[in-house]
Amino acid sequence: RMQCYPGLVLALSSLLGALALLQLSLYLRVPSRYGKHEERLCRPRGRLPARCAWFLQELPSFLVPALLLALRSPPRLEPLGCRLLCCLFCWHYFYRTFIYPFFTRGRPFPLQLLFFGMLFCIYNGFLQGYYLIYCAEYPNDWCTDIRFTSGLLLFLLGMGINIHSDLLLRQLRKPGEVTYKIPQGGLFTYVSGANYFGEIVEWFGFAIATWSLPAFAFAFFTLCCIGPRAYHHHRYYLKTFTDYPKSRKALIPFVF
C-alpha cells in the first residue's frame, strides 16, 4: 500500500532541480536538437512523425497522475484542493497528449530525444501526482487562499497564451509544409517564444497554487528547458530573416 514518504518527495524534487541545472548548462550555448535546431534536416532514420512522437512522449505525464488519482485506495475524498490541483496538471497533459499532437504540423522528432522526453514525463508525472495525492495537505479553505486563487489565475492565463501561440505557429504552415516563417500576432508581437512564455507562466502559477516543492522544481525545470530554447529561436529568426521585427524580445515582453 502506498503512503507518503516525505524523504522521497524531497529527493525526487532535488534531483529535478539538479536536472534543470544540467539542462541549463547543456543547452544555454547549443540548443536541444529538434525542430528548427536539428542539423541534419533530411535524415529520415531515427525519427518518428511529430504526431506519434508528441503523443508518446507526453502520454505518461497524463497517465501516471491520472492512474494514481483513480487507483488511490481508499479514495481520498478530502481535501478538495488536492484533487482539484491534480486535475489541473492532468488537464494540461490531456491537451498536450490528446489534442496538441493531432494538429501539429511539426517535423519528425528524433527518437533519442523522444526516449529521454518520455522518461522525463514518467518521472515528473509520478512526482507531481504522488505528492498531490499522497502527501499534500491543505486547509479546508485553501480554495479561497490568495496563493491558490492567484496561482490558478496565472495557470489559466499561461495556458491560454500557450495554446493560442501554438495555434498561431501551426497556422504558419499548410499541411505537409515544413518551412519556417515569421510568427505574427498575439504575444508574438512582443516575443519570439510566446508559446514558451505561456508555458512558463502556467507552471509558475501551478507552483504558487500548490505551494509545493515538487511544483516549484518543475516550474524551474521548465524555465531552464524552454527559456534557453526561446533565446535560440530568437537568434535563429534574427539570423534568418533580415526583416525580423527589431523590437521583439526573446522570452519576456519588453525585458529580455
C-alpha cell at 136: 499534500
Pick the closer one to ligand NDX by CB: 76 or 164.
164
User: What's 255's DSSP letter?
Assistant: T
Spatial distance between the Cα atoms of 25 and 15, rounded to a whole number of angstroms: 15
For residues 134 to 173, the per-residue mask of contacts with ligand NDX, x marking binding by CB under 6 A and - elsewhere, is: ----------------------------x---x--x--xx
x-or-dash string of contact with ligand NDX, 45-74, rule CB under 6 A: -----x------x-----------------
Q: Which is nearer to ligand NDX, 4 or 24 (CB)?
A: 24
> Would you count residue 13 as binding ligand NDX (CB under 6 A)?
no
Query: What are the Cα distances from residue 229, in Å, to 1, 13, 126?
Result: 41, 23, 25
- Closest separation in Å from C-beta 114 to ligand NDX: 8
CA-only gyration radius of the chain, Å: 19
Q: Check binding of 97 to ligand NDX (CB under 6 A).
A: no
Stretch that binds ligand NDX, among 67-75, 135-143, 153-161, 178-186 (CB under 6 A): 178-186
C-alpha to C-alpha distance for 155 and 204, rounded to whole angstroms = 7
Q: Name the grid cell of 56.
A: 508518446
Contact in structure between 58 and 98 (CB atoms under 8 Å): no
Q: Which lies closer to ligand NDX via its Cβ, residue 139 or residue 160? A: 160
- By CB under 6 A, tell whether 211 contacts ligand NDX: no
Stretch that binds ligand NDX, among 70-78, 117-125, 147-155, 242-250 (CB under 6 A): 117-125
Q: Residue 9: what are its φ and ψ, rounded to 5°?
A: -60, -45
Least Cβ distance, residue 222 to ligand NDX (angstroms): 4
Scanning 4-12, 105-113, 152-160, 244-252 for contacts with ligand NDX by CB under 6 A, the matching segment is 105-113
Burial class (CB in 10 A: 0-12, 13-18, 19+), 1: exposed
Q: Is 107 among the residues that bind ligand NDX (CB under 6 A)?
A: yes
Q: Which three cell numbers, joined as nine digits, stand for 26?
A: 547543456
Nearer to ligand NDX, 14 or 140 (CB): 14
125 burial type by CB count under 10 A (0-12 exposed, 13-18 middle, 19+ buried):
buried
CA angle 234, 89, 76 (to 5 degrees): 165
Residue 141 C-beta: closest distance to ligand NDX, Å: 30
